[in-house]
Structure 1
Amino acid sequence: MTQDELKRLVGQAAADYVLSNVADGAVIGVGTGSTANCFIDALAPHKRRYRGAVSSSVATTARLEQHGIKVFDLNEIESLPVYVDGADEIDPTGAMIKGGGGALTREKIVASVAEIFVCIADASKRVPVLGGFPLPVEVVPMARTAIGRRLTAVGGVPVLRVTNDGAPYITDNGNEILDVKNLRIDDPRAFEVAVNAWPGVVTVGLFASRGADFCLLGTESGVETIDYDTHR
């Protein structure tokens, strides 16, 4: 199967999980990116079963609303039974690199309040150690150079994310992103805590302190379910 076919496969598997395990009338947390879009498309025919969704980005909000799914502000919601999102990399403990689509801060906020975090990904995203995919770090613009020096000091090669016309990429929160290459993240939880503590960092795209509870992984032989509770 192609990568797009694998994404649609796990998007449908995530919709099936929600339909089987999440009570009618609930609000669903939805991530950002092409795999999350496949989940939205698969869930849309059943939208009347649920009150709506909390979105992690402007782009996701637009896709949900195109399907007629009501989007709630997180401040309006008392509980979020599930959050479904993709990953750029995921390791054997359920720690992830996320943020290739630029929505890492809002994704991390929504994930932090969800009871269950379901990662949906194709098999290429499963890695033994995080760091092959450049680590996104969302920064306040005035701190970009200072944070870049600190990332260089720990062995990284930070590159400012830019748009097709060469201008700095601006997140939905009005900040910039440094994509950090040349990292091998052996202890993602410790590295996440350390980088998040640097003044000027909005958030680092490591989802380790709150990693995935399980992953629906698209493989050539079908969807593999990986439960990470036994690895923590």
Structure 2
Amino acid sequence: MPADLSPIDKAKFVAAKRASEFVESGMRVGLGTGSTAAWLVRCLGEMVREEGLRIRGVPTSARTAALARDVGIDVISLDEAKWLDLTIDGADEFDPELNLIKGGGGALLQEKIVATASDQMIVIADAAKEVANLGAFPLPVEVVPFGWQTTQALLSETLEAMDVMGREITLRMNGERPYVTDEGNYIVDLHLGRIGNARQLALILNQMPGVVENGLFVDICDRVIVGHGDGRIELRDINAGTVTEDRMEFVEDDNLFRDL
């Protein structure tokens, strides 16, 4: 096992490597955004170069698109693909029902569109992302810049009637300026602590004028692959109701680590 990788990076790598085994030639694959999804893109790139894997990838952000092209994956738009066989992405949190909070990387809108346009979604994560109840990670909500402060006030008022522990709302910043998504929108983060009813909250948030999308992914994920720093892997299948375990051995000269 490469000595310069932290346990958390090793956990992300083994989860991504295991998920790559679900990808077959001819597939149209949604490619997620974030540090764990970046490992998946690298794994798939190696399969393209070394094994002749032929896939078309639909990235969920500009930075994922750039990485995919760099590693040799054929990149197309969702409009070109029309429908996907599989999407593989990370998550900021997942609960026992495989409901998710996503959007820590700022790409929640494209991520949700791509995931829901897929036959199945696999989430790859390290064990720290597992929670009993969603909400410890701030819930991202993408909003249009016009009147965003009014939208934030409406969100605050709405949260008063929701089953949540906290109600603080902050505008995500990029230095001294608001963070801007690939679609030109802002993100406000809801610091809720605990979400009692994720499905209800997701529906109510998306009914609000000014809200584009929220980071609650409910009934979208089919499998979660959890990686551990010692090479252990857990695969949880919500449809089959199964949990399987495996272990991955590392080699010092793994191609994926040569340029890290």
Q: Give the alignment's TM-score, normalised by structure 1.
A: 0.92
Unaligned runs of 5+ in 2: 1-5, 161-166, 242-260
The match for 1:4 is 9
CA distance in 2 between partners of 1:34 and 1:194 (Å): 30
The match for 1:202 is 212
Q: Is it true that 1:211 corresponds to 2:216 in the alignment?
A: no
Q: 1:120 aligns with which of 121, 124, 144?
A: 124
- Give 1:52 deviation, angstroms: 1.7
Q: 1:78 to 1:167 in 2, by over 3 A?
A: closer
- Give 1:219 deviation, angstroms: 2.7
CA distance in 1 between partners of 2:192 and 2:139 (Å): 9
CA distance in 2 between partners of 1:3 and 1:51 (Å): 28
The question of whether the paired residues in 2 share the 8 Å contact of 1:55 and 1:71 is answered with yes
The question of whether the paired residues in 1 share the 8 Å contact of 2:133 and 2:194 is answered with yes
Q: 1:140 to 1:55 in 2, by over 3 A?
A: same
The question of whether the paired residues in 2 share the 8 Å contact of 1:27 and 1:50 is answered with no
CA distance in 1 between partners of 2:147 and 2:193 (Å): 21
The match for 2:257 is none
The question of whether the paired residues in 1 share the 8 Å contact of 2:91 and 2:101 is answered with yes
The match for 2:63 is 59
Q: Which SS does the other structure have where 1:61 is aligned?
A: helix
Aligned length: 225
CA distance in 2 between partners of 1:91 and 1:188 (Å): 10
CA RMSD, Structure 1 to Structure 2 (Å) = 1.5
Q: Which SS does the other structure have where 2:122 is aligned?
A: strand
The question of whether the paired residues in 2 share the 8 Å contact of 1:151 and 1:157 is answered with no
- Give 1:182 deviation, angstroms: 2.8
The question of whether the paired residues in 2 share the 8 Å contact of 1:157 and 1:181 is answered with yes
- Give 1:51 deviation, angstroms: 3.2
Q: 1:17 aligns with which of 22, 30, 33?
A: 22
Q: Which SS does the other structure have where 2:128 is aligned?
A: helix
CA distance in 1 between partners of 2:172 and 2:129 (Å): 21
Q: 2:168 aligns with which of 129, 132, 157?
A: 157
CA distance in 2 between partners of 1:10 and 1:88 (Å): 14
- Could you tell me the percent identity over the aligned residues? 38
- Give 1:143 deviation, angstroms: 3.2
- Give 1:230 deviation, angstroms: 5.8
The question of whether the paired residues in 1 share the 8 Å contact of 2:62 and 2:182 is answered with yes
User: Who wins on radius of gyration, i.e. which is larger?
Assistant: 2
What pairs up with 1:162-177 in 2 under 5 angstroms?
A: 162-164=173-175, 166-177=176-187
Q: Is it true that 1:31 corresponds to 2:32 in the alignment?
A: yes
- Give 1:49 deviation, angstroms: 2.0
